Chains A and B, each alone.
Chain A
Amino acid sequence: MYLNMFGGSGLLHILAGHPRLVAAFGLAGAVGLLASPVGPGTYRGTAAYASAVERVVQDRGTGLTIANAERQANEELNGTRDQLEPLVRRTIAACGPACSDVSIDSVFGDRSLLRQVLVLDAIYSHVDTTTPIGNGSGK
């Protein structure tokens, strides 16, 4: 058995590309939802499944959460690395070991990814610390 925990596609990238999923289920819930019996990590089919679930849950009132998170992330982007690094670390830590293939440096080296991670963090700080809109099946 040789499982792909660090296969390069990056669970964090998939979550970053599907903020509605995180808004609906929470960050930990979304990670759990995407879990596979093949093992931790991401596989062919994970991103497509995330998109399909997003379409199913799009009427759960996630729009306002995402709009607020994007506004907050755009403001945070003006901050220094010292100010933003704790937020990035918090998001990666909340995602868990399956996100550890993405380094802090690589997030700061990709401004688009950095913004997406800040959006995730804003959603995480709102949804995961309050009541998830979804039930967070992976928790």
Chain B
Amino acid sequence: MKTRNLMLTVIFLAAPAFAGAQDTAASPATIGFPGSVNVTFGTVAPTEPGNLVSLTMLEQGVTVWRHRKSFVSGVALASAGRDSQDYVWNNRHALTLGVRFSQVMSNSVLQINAGQSIVADSATAPVIKPVLYASYWAGWHHPLSGGRFSPSALPGSVSATTGISSALEPDNWVSTLSVDQGVSVYQHGHTTLIPYSRFAISADTRGFAWDNRTSLDGGLKVRQAVAGGVIDLGVAARRQQDRISGSARTAPVAFVELWYGWNPRAIVR
């Protein structure tokens, strides 16, 4: 059954031919190949003192249907987590093959993902289970009429996810919410200095410590924008509370975050 589901997903991924036929008559029929890579690296968890954590996520899709700003894509997602203290929850490798519905709005996108995921961590043999989760992201910029040395914009974003997102926790519904607000105080070219504050909270139905945390940042980051992507280097004071154990700790954190996206498209004659 699991193999059959995986095969169906692969067949769906390999069959983009009708994408063009679903395009509107006026615009040329196209097949898109949206993808992105997201890397986070640093001492990001005060409740794990001294732990250097990295998480890399890569996704590649094929748009098989589009209507205006609604998209259905077959998608392959790979993620790899590592840390310096060998916590099980930070050392997972996953590959997911599935289907994604994306609804793009003016400054936001809603995604619903369903698929089969193969996951392994340092303590468990590979597991294949279905995953189903939704995610939402919205961003804003709010330009101000400031000069080079006065605030020029108020960049911020909110993101949320909810659902069964890991095959290693197939009966655990996990939800996360993160709100980020900054002030662009200096800009030179595509480099911006941004004091910021971020609030993040996660919760699950099983009560795992790593899924039930609250954190609040106050920090400073340097944002380097590149065509199609952005790199943030930051330091912050982060207060993190583990709501299961009741422990809380404030510590300085340093991080590098990279996000890069692409969407080459081929016009179908």
What band does the interface of chain B fall in when counting residues whose beta carbon is under 8 Å from A?
Answer: 35 or more
Taking a contact as CB atoms under 8 Å apart, the answer to whether A56 and B28 are in contact is: yes
Nearest B residue to A6, CB-CB: B141
Taking a contact as CB atoms under 8 Å apart, the answer to whether B143 and A103 are in contact is: yes
* Bound CA span A136–B263, Å: 21
In the complex, which residues of chain A have a beta carbon less than 8 angstroms from the beta carbon of B68?
A: 32, 35, 137-139
Taking a contact as CB atoms under 8 Å apart, the answer to whether B25 and A9 are in contact is: no
Q: Does A91 contact B (CB under 8 A)?
A: no
Chain A-chain B contacts (Cβ-Cβ < 8 Å), number: 164
Closest CB-CB distance, B27 to chain A, in whole Å? Answer: 4
> A75-83, A94-102, A110-118, A123-131: which lies at the B interface?
A94-102
* Bound CA span A136–B142, Å: 27
Nearest A residue to B155, CB-CB: A6
* Bound CA span A95–B112, Å: 27
Taking a contact as CB atoms under 8 Å apart, the answer to whether B34 and A38 are in contact is: yes
* Bound CA span A40–B102, Å: 11
Interface positions, chain A 1-45, Cβ under 8 Å from B, are 1-9, 25, 32-33, 35-45
* Bound CA span A69–B260, Å: 35
Interface positions, chain B 121-140, Cβ under 8 Å from A, are 135, 137, 139-140
Between A4, A38, A53, the greatest number of chain B beta carbons within 10 A of the residue's beta carbon is seen for A38
* Bound CA span A53–B23, Å: 13
In the complex, which residues of chain B have a beta carbon less than 8 angstroms from the beta carbon of A56?
A: 28, 267
Q: Is the interface of A mostly helix, strand, loop or mixed?
A: loop
Taking a contact as CB atoms under 8 Å apart, the answer to whether A43 and B137 are in contact is: no
Interface size for A (C-beta < 8 A) is 44
Interface positions, chain A 33-89, Cβ under 8 Å from B, are 33, 35-46, 48-49, 52-53, 56-57
Taking a contact as CB atoms under 8 Å apart, the answer to whether A52 and B267 are in contact is: yes
Closest CB-CB distance, B67 to chain A, in whole Å? Answer: 9
* Bound CA span A4–B227, Å: 10
In the complex, which residues of chain B have a beta carbon less than 8 angstroms from the beta carbon of A25?
A: 26-27
In the complex, which residues of chain A have a beta carbon less than 8 angstroms from the beta carbon of B102?
A: 37, 39
Query: Which residues of B line the A interface, CB within 8 A?
Result: 23-28, 30, 32-36, 38, 61, 63, 68-69, 71, 73, 100, 102, 104-109, 111, 135, 137, 139-143, 145, 152-153, 155, 157, 159, 161, 190, 225-230, 257, 259-265, 267
Nearest first, the 3 A-B pairs at minimum CB distance are: A8-B225, A135-B26, A45-B264
